[in-house]
Chains A and B, each alone.
Chain A
């Protein structure tokens, strides 16, 4: 959605004036604050705009999707692909329920002979015959327009910190990209980042590490003071210590952002309590 839209809706008792400037705006509030009345009024107006006695002023069409009719609408909109018959279209599909959307799109594109370039942000690379697209490079432009301030050093429990840098197309300001730790070791870093992030790695070796789903796996590991750093995305021990050394030169000590991530397992309560300190 571009810009913002005023919605004015009123009858003899009630007068609503909303300014909507987001694709999804959630209306919430106390019971009896008028949320349902707004929907009731709009629905009554749409049922019979001319003689409902309800006035709606808006530059765009306003409709009420109910449990009965939303499926009908959501089925009708993809049919708009018909307008692109024999032509090309580009789409970015949000990751929410991308599988079903991409499946439906593929079927519809076959049906209407539309050549669609469909990019799904959960799969960062999109390969065509001519080119490899990195969707995060595209989206980082827009994401950065929403960003204010200086780039932080993300002290991340696992590789999600690296994902953030990738999604923003930033140079990683941390040596912790694509690393993971035991909860205990990560908390040690949080308590004393200066000590650990200023140190070099020692004794890079293949070590057994428990993966997120609690399965044992061998990864390159290294000693960092009294803790172990694991590199689950690396297949080679060579160059790991050098990479750590280079990245740690970029640390923004003025802005450290701590990132604890939960995957399949729940984080133990004592770890959350320690982390929240």
Chain B
């Protein structure tokens, strides 16, 4: 293996995914593949109404069924199973009220899945319907039904959060700007559509605790939630991560509920209890990407210089808060796009409705606002008769600039390079000209569009940002590495393996990177916000460096030299006398010296501060910059949009795991493609209309465009080997780039996702027949 130009032997070099072997053999044991002796099957009774008071709940008929072993309600949890962060407004099982179709009310454990369903159907549950609010624009009306919890501060109970960004005098700038454009946009809910549904397995322990296997993103949060709901000390709850069949932000809350329900049933019955969601149950009950309505105003000078952005966003949190306050905050931070302004006035408000609930989903507010602001940029370019690429180049954030938020950008700012590369690789200038000519006389039209983005790395001012890792050498000289981060397919276990191998100077095959287990890994916060590579990578780097230091001391002792005199040839240590010593002998010598061959690493993100009241500060410690260009064919006879090519230019700081980084970009673009064209969620009076993949259409293989990836490496000093984030940014600009390409092709500006045939043909969506049956049938109620 030849060293790269950075001199790295493993980092940035081709490598297989560490968990690929078991997956291609079909031997990876996902949650639903684990069956234990005496295991019971659990199922939840879920609400068939979008809003109701629980008048009567009698579980005794279910308990009368011989193979039903236990039934639980909110009374089986401490404080009725109240949980949630940052707002504690949800319950492990509904308390007094249900707030959306699919809200869990009771859970049954039985010998078979069929018996569990019979138990659910036997429960007497009388619901008294309450008025609902499904339209986000009516949520804060005086007479809107109350969905959110009571509050003492005088705000409307359906008000959840407000996030602002303020710079300059936006009103004054709008008055004096040469050009002012104003438009309304909306983005729909989006289903994560992980191929593996939610679920949990709980095993009671002899000491009165419980071991949880759950396909969640954040096992430590799961452990703490289960411990809290059951009144157990955290050390009696262990959460273990099996392989996860996709997540994309979606496997938190419902999996916490499933874990707590299974844990309570397991403690009650003394038997292992497993719950696996059907696809319909998953789609009806699980949280979605927040739907958002946006009103945007931008002002510019005649020469194309941006002056001001005023942005109002209304985010549908649905029945519970979940992560929506954080999503709304991230949306507000990114709402104005990656540009310089004299003034901004941004306000993103999140509200409660009875539309299921929304939470974390890849991009976390940025794909939503990017869809709006990047189309505004194109509208502005049209108005000023400028090329969209030129307009972006003129206003793009550059090294040394200040964000409108007040933060100076002092490293790894590569937007201009991304724009240049995208322009050149896509043959932008020629295509813009030639397509316009072609379209003048053809019904099958061609278009090319661009969208740019910045995306804050990790949690930012959302929360405490740290990570830990452990590393040790076992008696067989295998290296055991742990991290608190979950690999749900994105490849973080391979990233950490390569980093540890690089730092220690050992072959990656020697390293066993474990999946998280709350008994062996170090709590590292949630696996969200594209933070694993930088946070977990740094913790791994430090843990490996600490272990390397121990080995180097042993090597110097064995070779009779100073540490600084040591040379490495692959794994082998060589001293001044040029005698090579195998790595295993160094480890053995370290043991003989009485040295402990284990270490930890902890990394704390650089400190930042955000003033929520002023709407100013340093929201994130670093940013990902990227540009995507989409080329489309639009059939004006049918309204059909086909995406032919996408050029994706992303600055990753440093690529650690090339195959994985490219996989993130491909996969992100596919999710952006579905968001743009086919993924449609309709809540009609609170009832979901798409409950399986027959109606909810995620992109299939034949719909994929050719994708051309360019990865830039403008190193971030705080990143491991200079690396930044990629998972979320990959999907952020795709829908906007496609919408801009559709506008270029058809002359139709589509401001409401998804881009349907009728929007392209008629400029508006047609009404579709709706029914409450589908969601109910999906729950078998």
Asked if chains A and B come from one complex, the reply is no
Interface residues of A (CB under 8 A from B): none
